[in-house]
Structures are given as structure tokens and as C-alpha cells.
Amino acid sequence: MNRLDARFAELKSRGEGALVAFITAGDPFPSHTADVICALAEAGADVIELGVPFSDPLADGPTIQAASFRALQGGMTPPKVLDAVREARARGVTVPMVLMGAYNPVLQYGPEKFAQDAVAAGADGAIVTDVIPEEADTWKPIADAAGLATIFLLAPTSTMERMEAVGKLAAGFIYCVSMTGITGTKEVVPSELPGLVSAIREHARETPVCVGFGVKTPEQVKAICVFADGAVVGSSLVTLLHENREDPDVLSFVKEYVASLKTATIVP
């Protein structure tokens, strides 16, 4: 069983939602990425998403775009992202890890080699943001053969046909985008979101559904975990790391924040 499947099954048995924590690999400092991964795991993150920096990111808001730029300027590359995953595993991290980014770096790396190297390093899944289900016939078999779960995005604009296509192909979990637009721009959980998650679940074939984009407070996490399998928090974590990058206590701040978010996934 993939670590993602095992984690979601465990959470379901305990009546908890998943806290999915996103950071941009290489930001604020490439050499510290494994340290941040370890801190997220220690604080209670259930799944860790690592953004693979790319010069032309899709759907990312200004916060994550800036983080990607800083990471690239610092010399972060896909092989170094995998090195960080490998180091975190060597240091005892057992939390599922997912790589998130555009297909271009995967293509440059070599899709088969990327999938195989990702799994060998300790990654469990990949969100390739610009690979839609209708065009996944090259990537999906490669990922499946390597044992790397392919996680697809669905949004408020997704048709029932798209939901059905994703439901047939998705593994690990389905990433439900809470709004149209870019990441990190809303403060409240949209009122139509429970209906969207319900519609996705009709096609999900038992695949968990997690909600992200704009989620940053324990209150939002709690509200989402009432109707979804988990919440994804990204931009606020990236901001916290960047704004406190020179502070020797930055990882303590990260742990405190993540622990407060994780507590909110326990819904009565």
C-alpha cells in the first residue's frame, strides 16, 4: 500500500481530516529544505507537498511565484529537490511526500527517470499541474509503473465529464481547488465548496478529496474538514518561512503554526 493510501485510511479510522502542508523546495534556502520537511512532519503534517521550482508556474499566486524565483536563484533544481526528499527519509520522516510542479521540468529530466528517481528518493505522489486527464496517457502509465501516485486537480469550473475522467485516473487523493483564480487570495471558505466536493465524490471511486488554495487559518481547516478529507495549506507557510528566514527560531514558528492547523482537522 502506498504511504498516501495508508495515511488516509489511518486518518479515516480516527475520524480526522488530513493536513496537507505545501512548501516550495529550495525556499528560503536550498540547503534547509530537508530541515523544513522534518519540522513539518514533527508538527503533525499528514502529507507534505514540495513545489518543484519552475520559471513559468501555473495558477500560483505572487507568494509562491516569488518563492519559486528565489529557489531558482538559489540554485534549486529537480535533482536537488529529490536529494531533499532522500535526506528527509534518511532522517526518519515517514509522512507521505508529494512533488508538485509543471510538466516541463519533468520532461527535461526525462519522465521515466524522474518517476523512478522520485520513488527511489522517497516520494509517494506527483501533482503535475498542466497534465490534464485527457492528456495523461504518456505520464500516467510511467508514474504507475514506478509506483508514483498521480494526483489531479479539479476546480469549480470542472465539468462532470472532467470529474469522471479524474475519478477514473486519480490516485493518492484529488486536489480540489477551492476557487477560480490564483493561490493565496481568499480569506473565507466559499459557500459552494461543500457542493463541489460532494459532486467530485460521486466520481471519486473512494479516492480522498482535499481542498486547497487560500487556506491559511485553523478555522478554515476545521470548516473544510467537516465535508472534505483534508485541507491544503501553502501560501501562508511559504510566507512564514520567507519572512522569518534569518531568525534562528524560524522552524519553531513553523511547528507552532502547523500544530495549530493540525489540531483543527479533528472534527467532532
| Catalytic residue positions, numbered | 49, 60
Contacts of 151 (CB under 8 A, 6+ apart): 98, 125, 126, 127, 170, 171, 172, 173, 174, 175
**Packing angle between helix 250-263 and helix 235-243, nearest 10 degrees?**
160
Cell representation of residue 244: 522569518
Contact 47, 74 (CB under 8 A): no
Name residue 233's beta-bridge partners. 21
**Chain position carrying cell 531533499:** 84
> Buried (b) or exposed (e) across 107-133, using 16+ Cβ within 10 A?
eebebeebbbbbbebbbbbbbbbebeb
Which amino acid, one-letter code, is at 110? Answer: G
C-alpha 220/C-alpha 70 separation (Å) is: 28
